[in-house]
Amino acid sequence: MKHANKLTIILMVISQLMFINCKKHEGNVSDFNKVIYSPEYADGFEILGAEGRESILIRSKRPWQGAPDGTVRDFIILRGNESLPEGFIGEVIENNAERIVCMSSGHIAMLSAIGATECVVGGSNLNYVTSPEIQSRRENLKEVGHEGAMDYESLIAARPDLVLLYGVNSSNPMEGKLKELGIPYIYIGDYLEENPLGKAEWMVAIGECIGKRKDAIENFRPIKDNYNKMKCLAESICAGKQHPKIMLNIPYGDAWFMPPVGSYMANLIKDAGGDYLYSKNTSSESESISKEEARMLLSRADFWINLGPGISNLDQLRRTIPQMADMQIMSAGKVYNNTLRSTEAGGNDFYESGIINPDLVLRDLIKIMYPEKISEDFTYYLPLQ
């Protein structure tokens, strides 16, 4: 078995090298200066073309958190039997991707949104994925592990022609091995977007990879329109009024992390007509606060949300943080968790389809703060009792 796997690896590398070396260069990478798609909300990618060419270049402009200014990762899709441009540095795939390994469940949700879950042949932590389409064919998909514990034999067995990567604080450690194996990859940096619509807009980049950019744009449009409609509703509701104050999270170990005021969650709260309590974090990363400071913030909060997995009622919350058991906000019934769509295996759809449905997340938050204004049931949030 080990010899067979080594042979598979050698053949894949040889095949990739032959593909790259046999392609005669055509034009220059600087020719790819025609904007095919400029995101309206996302700031982490752009899609470029060249005059007279079918091939497309996708540029990840912020591939990981803390990347120095100017750090990019380029990915080119060669179409129409075209050749590589001179000077291109990056990943290459010939024609549209048909077999994809997803390292994030959010990327599976993006493929699902454009009707392309059949492209998924493997992924990371698949047992936690909530998608019914994925779970219905789970036994045919390859579990490839996760960062620090990758199963490269399963990755090879999946025979992907593309891996969707993300980086945390540095380039993904899989890069070197993927290059060695000759498996193309692209950085999908949706998790770095602070604008909720910016996260969802990354579906256009993924759509381009499989030749469905137009479908992705069409699917993104109603999400954008509905989000902005909900945002306008919240603005009209709270005009001239004091905004409800919102507390987030519970301790993780001994640390209680609070996101920045410009973060994805803080922006959702603001767009829903709320006031995120921890306004002094103006950095780009979450800050740890003491339980004493958290208690002070909770004493001022009108609502407390996002309590993490395993907490579905107030008794569980009191047992988890007994120091907060006597807080008035608990007895007032103003505590909500984003775990309504959770699975027995521990998956949470808030972090999956919620990424591509920020309009529904926003509607939930408006319903929490202004329940009389929203008649629809909650999609992702659960009131704790």
Rounded distance between C-alpha atoms, residue 25 and residue 27, angstroms? 7
CA-nearest of 26, 10, 191 to 104 is 191
β-bridge partners, 75: 58, 91
Q: How far apart are CA 16 and CA 183, in angstroms?
A: 8
Q: Is 165:179 a contact under the CB 8 Å cutoff?
A: no
Could you give the angle at which helices 174-181 and 2-22 cross, rounded to 10 degrees? 80
Q: What is the pLDDT of residue 155?
A: 97
User: Could you tell me if 74 and 46 are in contact, meaning their C-beta atoms sit under 8 angstroms apart?
Assistant: no
In this structure, which topology does domain 238-383 adopt according to CATH?
Rossmann fold (3.40.50)
pLDDT at 20: 46
Low-confidence stretches of the chain (pLDDT < 50) are 1-4, 7, 9-11, 13-15, 17-22
- Residues 352 and 108: beta-carbon distance below 8 Å: yes
Can you give the pLDDT at residue 148?
79
List pLDDT tens digits, range 138-194: 999 999 998 779 999 999 999 999 999 999 888 999 999 999 999 999 999 999 999
Judge contact between 174 and 163, C-beta under 8 A.
yes
Which 8-state DSSP code applies to residue 263? S
* Boundaries of every domain in the chain: 2-210, 238-383
Beta-strand relationship, 56-60 and 73-78: antiparallel
**Which class in CATH covers the domain with range 2-210?**
alpha beta
Q: In angstroms, how far is the first alpha carbon of the chain from the final one? A: 54
DSSP 156-217: HHT--SEEEE-BSSS--THHHHHHHHT--EEE--GGG--SHHHHHHTHHHHHHHTT-HHHHH
For 323-350, b/e burial (b = at least 16 CB within 10 A) is ebeebebbeeebbbbbbbbbeeeebbbb
Same fold? 2-210, 238-383: yes
Helix/strand number for the chain, H first, E second: 14, 19
Instruction: Provide CB contacts within 8 A for 355, sequence distance 6+.
Output: 106, 109, 110, 190, 199, 200
State how far the Cα of 303 lies from the Cα of 7, in Å rounded to an integer. 58
- Radius of gyration in angstroms for the set of CA atoms belonging to the chain, rounded to a whole number: 23
Nearest to 144 by CA among 119, 107, 174: 174
